[in-house]
Amino acid sequence: MPRLAIIGLGLIGGSLGLAIKRAQLENLEIVGYDAERGVVGRARKMGAVDSAARRATSAVEGAAAVIIATPVLQVAKVLEEIAPALEDGAVVSDTASTKREVVRWAGELLPDTVDFVGGHPIAGKEQSGIEAADASLFEGRPWALTPTAATSERAIKTIENLVTVVGARPVLIDAEEHDSYLAAVSHLPALLSTVLFSLASQSQAWPELASLAGPGFRDATRLASGSPAMSHDISLTNRENLLHWLDRFSEELGRFRNLIEEGEERGDLYKAFLKAQTTRDAFLLELPSHAGPEKKVDIMSAGEQMLSLMVGEYLVRRTKEIGELLERRAADDDGDASRSPKGR
């Protein structure tokens, strides 16, 4: 039975396990591990994993695929820890929100006998932890994949199928481009949400402000309720790109400030609001949709392909191990024969 290991069972890791179990793939064992005490037990009770491991190394033993679903700065430590225990031919991926540093760590820490495919599901919610896990979290969402020139086609296809199985859309992208783009459309919005709430809540008039805050304020500050560890790690591992887009935002904010200060003498303020509205409305209309029946067929096909690739790699490895065992036995038999007295 092929084994999939999930290291880290918070919102993303737990949701991944639940989504795979919902796909009802036969003969796939999901082993989970989390460094926080009690989490893996709760994940097992929820049905996100089949079995619990006490150490990351024991979780990956015999695993054909490994998904690291921890905050970004913990990924390097996990890679270093599991590297000696990984099976030859194993496919390793992650779910971290930044990719350049993660890809570099994988190249430095993992053995040449395994493949690494960087990954980032563009999905989430403000709640964190295994209790917030949701099997439908990835439905219709893009899932960025950042393989390198050294990554095998088999490994890429394995993770692409896994992504499809959980209802997401695999998107192949360079790690540098990923970090640059996500700084604008993911990391910056999370930071601005936090800054806006920090600004308002530190006002002396916060009790009055809070009593008047409506859905607009709640929506605009929703991401401030996200994991502080994740936001911290993103800021440090994608610092240059985030600073670039912060500068761009400051310039755009200054432009709107000037338009407000100028008033409506030339009508530029209204035009700026109108352009933003029409552009965003067009963006929303262009978002991809997914038909239910077609998605079900895609998931079934992807699941079969994923299991086939995982089982195939397992058989290749077992055949190699058996061959090596037979060679050692033959060598031992020859040695015994040469040491035996003649005539016996």
Low-confidence stretches of the chain (pLDDT beneath 70): 288-300, 302-303, 306, 311-323, 333-344
Query: Taking the CA atoms of the chain, what radius of gyration do you get in angstroms?
Result: 25
pLDDT at residue 344 in the model: 40
Burial of 283 (0-12, 13-18, 19+ CB in 10 A): exposed
CA distances 50 to 61, 132, 176, 310, Å, are: 15, 19, 36, 17
pLDDT at res. 303: 66
Identify the bridge partners of residue 88 per DSSP, sorted by sequence position: none
Distance CA 48, CA 307 (A): 18
What pLDDT shows up at residue 319? Answer: 60
Length of the chain: 344
- The CA distances from residue 272 to 258, 260, 263, 264, 269, in Å, are 12, 11, 12, 11, 5
Contact in structure between 188 and 243 (CB atoms under 8 Å): no
What is residue 68's three-state secondary structure?
A: strand
> What would the two tokens of residue 31 be?
């082993």
List, for residues 60-107, the tens digit of each pLDDT value: 999 999 999 999 999 999 999 999 999 999 999 999 999 999 999 999
Domain spans in the chain, listed from the N-terminal domain onward? 3-173+292-324, 178-285
Residue 299: per-residue pLDDT: 63
From CA 282, how far away is CA 155, in angstroms rounded? 36
What is the distance between the alpha carbons of residues 344 and 334, in angstroms, rounded to a whole number?
Answer: 15
CATH 3.40.50.970 fits 3-173+292-324, yes or no: no
Q: What's the confidence (pLDDT) of residue 222?
A: 93
Instruction: Match domain 178-285 to its CATH number in 3.40.47.10, 1.10.10.10, 1.10.1380.10, 1.10.3660.10.
Output: 1.10.3660.10
Structure tokens at 60: 């990956």
Signed CA dihedral, 150, 153, 154, 157: sign only: positive
Q: What is the percent of the chain where pLDDT is above 90?
A: 73
Cα 318 to Cα 191: distance, rounded to the nearest angstrom:
49
